[in-house]
Structure 1
Amino acid sequence: MYHIAVSFDVPADRRDEFIAAALEDGRDSAADEPGTRRFELIADADNPNRFYLNEAYDDEAAFNLHAKGPHFARFFDIINSFATGPTWLIKGTRIEDPQA
């Protein structure tokens, strides 16, 4: 499974707009993109205006399909004028333990 995690910083007065856009992206991606397995929006515990997207896909190709899709584009169309990010935190394939 392919995982990514990114962070975004947003102005306090645009916080609700960012949350709505991210939740819409996640909801629509999960509904329309079969390779999307997890799409989580997480608010930072110490900074209320920092958010993390924690996502999982079947493989890197599924993520690339998502990144070229309409939901991804709409999300960035909405947030590009006010959000700082994405700052990449992780990008890669989970290593499974064959003995677990």
Structure 2
Amino acid sequence: MYAVCVTFHIRLDAVDQFLTRMHQQARDSLSKEEDCYRFDVCSDVDRPGVVFLYELYKDRNAFDEHSRSDHFLSFNSEVAPLTLEKAVSTFQDVSVGLK
């Protein structure tokens, strides 16, 4: 599996707008992409402008397809003006353990 972790720093006046669009993006990714297994959206309790994503894909190719999808490209252009900073990290050979 292939994990993607993204940290966004959002303009404080745009957090609600960003989160609304971000949650739609998560739903779209999970429903439209067979090889997107998980898409968590997390808000930082102590820093309201920080949003963390944890995404899990079948493999790197699935993530590359996600990055080229119409729904991602639309999302990315819509939230760009709301975003102050974005950091992306990727990890492969992910082992998932659930209790």
TM exceeding 0.5? yes
Kindly report the root-mean-square deviation, in angstroms, between the aligned alpha carbons of the 2 structures. 1.5
* Number of aligned positions between the proteins: 96
Q: Letter of the aligned partner of 1:91 in structure 2?
A: T
The answer for the alignment partner of 1:84 in structure 2 is: 84
Deviations 1:38-74 (Å, cap 9, x if unpaired)? 0011011320110011100000000000000011111
The answer for the alignment partner of 1:59 in structure 2 is: 59
The structure whose residues are more often helix, as a share, is 2
Q: Structure 2 CA distance, aligned partners of 1:51 and 1:22?
A: 9
The runs of at least 4 aligned residues of structure 1 exceeding 4 Å deviation read none
- In structure 2, the residue corresponding to 1:81 is in which secondary structure? helix
Q: Letter of the aligned partner of 2:93 in structure 1?
A: R
Q: Structure 1 CA distance, aligned partners of 2:48 and 2:58?
A: 31
Aligned pairs for 1:1-100 (under 5 A) are: 1-88=1-88, 90-96=89-95
Return 5+ residue gaps in structure 1 as ranges: none
Q: Letter of the aligned partner of 2:69 in structure 1?
A: G
Task: State, as a whole percentage, how many aligned pairs show the same letter.
Answer: 27
Q: Structure 1 CA distance, aligned partners of 2:91 and 2:10?
A: 26
Shift of 1:86: 2.1
Return 5+ residue gaps in structure 2 as ranges: none
Name which one, 1 or 2, has greater alpha-carbon Rg: 1
Normalising to structure 2: TM-score of the pair? 0.89
- In structure 2, the residue corresponding to 1:46 is in which secondary structure? coil
